[in-house]
Structure 1
Amino acid sequence: MKVQKLLTTASVGALVLGMSTAAYSDNWRYAHEEYEGDVQDVFAVAFKEYVEENSDHTVQVYRFGELGESDDLMEQTQSGILQFVNQSPGFTGALIPAAQIFFIPYLMPTDTETVLEFFEESKAINEMFPELYAEHGLELLQMYPEGEMVVTADEPITAPSGFDNKKIRVMTNPLLAETYNAFGATPTPLPWGEVYGGLQTGIIDGQENPLFWIQTGGLYEVSPHLIFTGHGWFTTAMMANKDFFDGLPEEDQQLIRDASEAAYDHTIEHIQGLAEESLEKIKEDCSECTFTRLTEEQIQAFRERAPQVEEAFLEMTGEDGAALLEQFKADLEAVNEE
């Protein structure tokens, strides 16, 4: 195992006395953006359990708010304070512009089976993204979906005109802001810690998140009208500080890869049916909530605005973005053909 501290004279003496084969253990720090029991936490705990069951290392998991907001977590990871971080491209988009591809509306399929197959087989995700992350000092270990994005608002919305003058909270992500501009809304960047209060006081009129996050975060309490627009899935990424990862012995690198694979499999199993379960809980708890599923005709009115977001993505990302988008579409086509 890797020794991260200089050996003291006493420890050297102990090694000479016959302990030279003793394994050294490290405590690795891992932070994510969600609460206990949420999808990223399920992944982190599964990763921790695998590491600790198969090595002498330990993993300390930090949940939302314990070490700051998402921007803070990325800074701590890049500086080496954290060894691992789980963060959505919604927040890494400013650092890695091409990661914003997940926010081009109606690019991703909507059914769970196709989405999962895409993540398993996509060359864009499994071959191109790791190179992009590496350029910024990050070892990309997994990308995985958490759930279909659902909009909540202060009233039901069935057409782009319904977004007129609506302040919709977005992550600090230029392309997501462009999406809601295209939809006719006023995108309003806001840290997650301020979203509930912003909805409650009318600073913002709506937001988007997967159903489980709307349920566990209680967003439906202050934003009771849920709109299923079918425009995308929430995606997240688990990564390591690259200097830390590259400095590990091969057995630890393989341990981390194996642990991330085990965590991925466990998490994908966890999200099966999670949206339906979360929706039922909201319905049981909220008699005032409404649930609007757009028809294909209604969705088409939004889909027609997607090309301007794609154009903005290409302007933001240049040749890297164009190559990634081409491969992304080829991967989606291959999955749909199967």
Structure 2
Amino acid sequence: MAKTLAATTALTLLAGPAFAAEWKYAIEEALEEVQGVYATKFKEHIEANSDHTVAIFPFGTLGESADTTELAQMGAIQFVDASPGFTGSLIPELQVFLMPYVLPEDPAVLADFYKTSSTINEDLAGLYDAQNLHLVDMFPEGEVVMTTKEPVTSPADLEGVKFRVMTTPLLVETYNAFGATATPLPWGETFSGLQLNMIQGQENPMFFVESTKMYEVTDHITFTGHNTFTTAVAANKSFYDGLSDEDKALVTEAADAAYDYIIDYQKGLEDEALAKIQEAKPSMTVTRLTDEQREPFRKAAEQVREKFVEMTGDSGKAVLDGFEADIKASQERVGG
């Protein structure tokens, strides 16, 4: 069904010139959510500094994430938000972003890391080429939290819990290691799955838990500190390669402007979202695990690390080593 939708949509979108002045940009969220805010700022910069226009397609208008990534690969759209949680199946090394307890929790260190990491902006960027994609940008969207029907303070509490994960192998490994039964599902099936008790948990940044009303079908929020949600902005490679030097520079400038804006925009966003959730559902419990409570999860994460290296071989090991070296450099720069 997804491939049929993508193919049908592609025929429609390709009806116009391949390199039209209107650039199409599909995101995985709504316009008022973090990806939508980034995309809007990107659009504003492009349109203020060129004759081009950018049409933004929010989640669902062109299908699920797998559909929009495929449309970008085909050249039916020019830009796409393609999170590693989905593209990790296409580019296994991208699953490094999904490894628990690797990314730093300090937002300032994270912001510096994504912007300056040669592992991201050179090594991983080069892996997109084989998928007919060009990496434009990557940015964090906030710490992921677990939302569940029962409270969670240890891996034992996740035993028997069917936990929705994005459709990429390493997230399956992560939640199985955490004690749950990892259940890969497209995002569009998550709310109903929780509502019908087909699944009993899911993870996402706090703003997304609030905006998608995940709190209506779960009862407990748990901060484990195990990861940050990452988004990649990619362009169709053939489209990007065909741009003039001036337009390539314009895309880079627009991405830089949008990145700086979205990092600043997210300050306080988690607390605001949590306050809205607690107002809407006072019975919702919020638990921030102590270092001692996190230790069993950290120990379980060691086997996920081993699985990543097993899945990706020498290439993945080199990415992981570079990733950690770049994080250390950012910590030294920022002091985090």
Q: Same fold (TM over 0.5)?
A: yes
TM bucket normalised to smaller = over 0.9
Matched, 1:163 2:158: yes
Alpha carbons of structure 1 residues 165 and 53: separation in structure 2 relative to 1, 3 Å = same
Counterpart Cα distance in 2 of 1:337 and 1:264: 21
Q: CA RMSD in A?
A: 1.4
Name the aligned partner's letter for residue 238 of structure 1: V
CA distances 1:199-223 after superposition (whole Å, capped 9, x unpaired) = 1110100000000000000001111
Counterpart Cα distance in 2 of 1:64 and 1:334: 35
- Secondary structure of 2:259's match? helix
**Structure 1: any 5+ residue segments left out of the alignment?**
7-23
Structure-to-structure mapping, 1:63-212, within 5 angstroms = 63-212=58-207
Name the aligned partner's letter for residue 214 of structure 2: L
What is the Cα deviation at residue 135 of structure 1? 2.3
CA distances 1:251-294 after superposition (whole Å, capped 9, x unpaired) = 11111111111111111111111111111111111111000110
Matched, 1:264 2:247: no
Query: How many residues are aligned here?
Result: 318
CA distances 1:222-247 after superposition (whole Å, capped 9, x unpaired) = 11200001000000000100000001
- Secondary structure of 1:304's match? helix
- Secondary structure of 1:220's match? helix
Runs ≥4 residues deviating over 3 A: none
What is the Cα deviation at residue 5 of structure 1? 5.1
- Secondary structure of 2:243's match? coil
1:9 corresponds to which residue? none
What is the Cα deviation at residue 153 of structure 1? 0.3
Counterpart Cα distance in 2 of 1:43 and 1:303: 32
Counterpart Cα distance in 2 of 1:219 and 1:120: 31
2:213 to 212, 218, 224: 218
Name the aligned partner's letter for residue 262 of structure 1: A
Counterpart Cα distance in 1 of 2:85 and 2:118: 21
- Secondary structure of 1:78's match? helix
Name the aligned partner's letter for residue 67 of structure 1: L
1:25·1:56 contact (CA, 8 Å) conserved in 2?
no
Matched, 1:42 2:48: no
Counterpart Cα distance in 1 of 2:310 and 2:161: 26
Matched, 1:275 2:270: yes
**What TM-score, normalized to structure 1?**
0.92
**Structure 2: any 5+ residue segments left out of the alignment?**
1-15
Matched, 1:239 2:256: no
Counterpart Cα distance in 2 of 1:271 and 1:263: 12
Alpha carbons of structure 1 residues 310 and 147: separation in structure 2 relative to 1, 3 Å = same
**What TM-score, normalized to structure 2?**
0.92
Name the aligned partner's letter for residue 199 of structure 1: L
1:25·1:58 contact (CA, 8 Å) conserved in 2?
no
What is the Cα deviation at residue 25 of structure 1? 6.5
What is the Cα deviation at residue 319 of structure 1? 1.6
Larger Rg: 1
1:26 corresponds to which residue? 21
1:59 corresponds to which residue? 54
Name the aligned partner's letter for residue 213 of structure 1: F
CA distances 1:46-81 after superposition (whole Å, capped 9, x unpaired) = 111111111111111000100000110011000000
Matched, 1:313 2:313: no
- Secondary structure of 2:131's match? coil
CA distances 1:272-319 after superposition (whole Å, capped 9, x unpaired) = 111111111111111110001101000011101111101111111112
1:13 corresponds to which residue? none
What is the Cα deviation at residue 334 of structure 1? 2.1
Name the aligned partner's letter for residue 123 of structure 1: S
